[in-house]
Structure 1
Amino acid sequence: MKLPDHEIKKIAIFRALQLGDMLCIIPAMRALRYAYPSAHITLLGLPWGKSFTERFSSYFDDFIHFPGFPGLPEQPFNAKETVDFLAGIQGKFDLLLQMQGNGTVINPIMELFGASYTGGFYTLGDFAGNQDYYMPYPNFGPEPERHLLLMEHLGITAHGNDLEFPLTEKDYADFEKLQLPIEPGKYVCIHPGSRGSWRQWPTAHFAALADYCAEQGYKVVITGTKEEAPIINEVMSHMKHPAIDTAGITTLGAVGVLIKNARALVSNCTGVSHMAAAFKTPSIVISMDGEPERWGPINKNIHYTINWLEEPGFDYVYSKTVELLQQQG
């Protein structure tokens, strides 16, 4: 029941989350843009989301910072800022889509935005608006496909489930400034960090896989933020072979170039794993949160997602790394 184009000129997407979560909605955004090519689409999200909308300018036209709400842990809640935010967007949008999650916390506030039509996910028994535009949260399948189900519910045709990560001239310039001694396809990226410590695989295990890659003739590039430097130092302290440490010296775009041109990526289940999926760079993804089917890359031929909670054996991960490099070699 796609809403007619003449009624839908301004669309808002609510998703106040981090990089990996945001990349997972891109297939849905692609479908939405095809459905409403002339609509002005705004992301309502965390402060960093402005740079996300700039990177994905084909799908987003604007960004508004959502200042928080009780029960949403991603940022502190400031009551005055939230009240001002609500006053500023009252009646501003023709269509508002809640793509944050199951809606348990956020759906009631969605109705305060004053959009002509509001839709998204809800949990049975909890608050939801017009059932024509809300659907029960699909607690199954990969994250990108959950959002495509929402598009289907709205009568919007999918245009594939591939992820994307556009690279700019600035991204390549930032990468070139690093002057790393590597060649495309002849290095492996190791990413041992993650926003949540509970999702971080042991550093000694990362080191052992990095050493294996080095012994196969690949240079090892360890990626991470400045804050993740202690983790990276710990990985390197366990290694027998040298590695290139890029902690804190890369922009997000430069990391994108690194991953695009890498032979493979070994990482926790975090944002960079979705970048590898977008670039179709082979990867080993260690899932520590018990949701590998939701957050792991969809293409199982070149991406091996390992549920560490069910298969906590290093030998198994090691064997899958060997298999991946041999298969793609």
Structure 2
Amino acid sequence: MQLKQLRKIAVFRALQLGDMLCAIPALRALRHTYPDAHITLVSLPWATWLRERFPQYIDELVVFPGYPGLPEQAVDADLSIHFLRYMWGQHYDLALQMQGNGSVVNPMVELWSARYTAGFYRREDYQPGPLFLEYPEGLHEIERLLALVQYLGITETDTRLEFPISLKDQASLQALQLPVPEHYVCIHPGSRDAKRQWPAAYFARLGDQCAQAGLQVLLTGTAGEAPLTRAVMNAMTFPAIDLAGHTDLGQMGALLKNAFVLIANCTGVSHIAAALETPSLIISMGGEPGRWVPLNRQLHTTIDWTTTPDFNLVEQALMEILQKDNSF
């Protein structure tokens, strides 16, 4: 049953880059079905960037101040009370909980007092109402979020990711005057969780393999990941260019757009590469590869290191990627 006359929609998803990019297909479906609705994203402060990147899907950002039980944001009691009062006063037609299985946040979203409240729930927990879908296990995150909007009567099924690259992004990358060659590979050895980082020495060995094939190796990451990219560079036999801390997300996207391949942990940049259709070799160190890896298995190769910690398997996968196009 499709909900009617939705003029104001609030979507709650207060997570990090890769998690948010996986929600774009569901947000696109929401916009397609309700083209005139005002869609508010309730998310973390960094998502201002997401609002600017996807104005066609997100009309407004409300910064989420945290909630007990959620690790993504420290809780500020005063801001939380102000936030709940604000959300209650907005009189949303639909509050859509896309944060997770709902075990922690469903009661909070109910306090927004929207005309309809929807989201995921677990059978062993409280079910707020008929518009809540039992949390489906075993699905890719993109497909899980699309299952939720389909449950609400939205027929959109397009799983395609997006990451628009603007002329400003391209110009700002050029303005940095980085030593970017014509043919290059991006190696991104960092991730938000240090436990999910593949060893720097392994990235270095793959970097040397790319260099032997004729590709310049670019090491990318945040400023905080500079020690990690430096460790990779120092472990390589061939020279590499260390760009850690020199690019923002838009510039990183422009860089990935023209890369021959991305080699990375299963982290946010893997979703950018998937959106840009840049081939990738992804090492999954944190489990649940079926939930987070790129869906296009022809273009993107994922190795689940938790089940097959075999460097030869990774090296073979890279060789197959390099042999697909040796025109560089």
Distance 1:128 1:108 in 2: 10
Distance 1:128 1:106 in 2: 12
Tell me the distance in 2 between the aligned counterparts of 1:284 and 1:118: 39
Cα distance in 2 for partners of 1:127, 1:82 equals 22
* 1:146 match: 144
Give RMSD over aligned pairs.
Answer: 1.0
- Whether 1:65 aligns to 2:59 is no
Which letter maps to 1:233?
R
Please give the alpha-carbon distance, in whole angstroms, between the structure 2 residues aligned to 1:127 and 1:305. 36
Cα distance in 2 for residues equivalent to 1:68 and 1:128: 22
- Are 2:44 and 2:64, in contact at CA under 8 Å, matched by a contact in 1? yes
CA deviations over 1:130-172 (Å, ceiling 9, x no partner): 12x1101111121101101011101101151010001122211
Q: Which residue of 2 aligns with 1:2?
A: 2
Structure 1 unpaired stretches of 5+? none
- Return the match for 2:172 from 165, 171, 174: 174
| 1:231-279 Cα shifts (integer Å, max 9, x gaps) | 0111111000111111111111000001111000000000000000001
1:110 equivalenced with 2:90 (yes/no): no
> Which residue is equivalent to 1:326?
323
Equivalenced residue count is 325
Identity of aligned residues (%): 53
Q: Which among 302, 305, 310 is matched to residue 305 of structure 1?
A: 302
Partner Cα distance (1:137, 1:170) in 2 = 40
Q: Within the alignment, does 1:20 sit opposite 2:18 as a pair?
A: yes
Residue in structure 1 matched with residue 262 of structure 2 by the alignment: 265
Aligned counterpart for 2:86 among listed residues 83, 88, 105: 88
* C-alpha displacement of 1:178: 2.1
Looking at structure 1, the residues matched to 286 and 112 of structure 2 have their Cα atoms a distance apart, in angstroms, of 33
1:287-298 counterparts in 2 under 5 A?
287-298=284-295
- Decide whether the 8 Å contact of 1:70 with 1:77 is kept in 2: yes
Where do residues 173-252 of structure 1 align in structure 2 (5 Å cutoff)?
A: 173-184=171-182, 186-252=183-249
Distance 1:298 1:57 in 2: 25
The answer on whether the counterparts of 1:91 and 1:115 sit within 8 Å (CA) in structure 2 is: no
Structure 2 Cα separation of the partners of residues 153 and 303 of structure 1 = 29
Matched ranges for 1:49-64 at <5 A: 49-64=47-62
Distance 1:242 1:236, change over 3 A: same
- How far apart are residue 89 of structure 1 and its match? 1.4
Deviation at 1:182, TM superposition (A): 2.9
Query: Which residue in 2 is equivalent to 1:128?
Result: 127
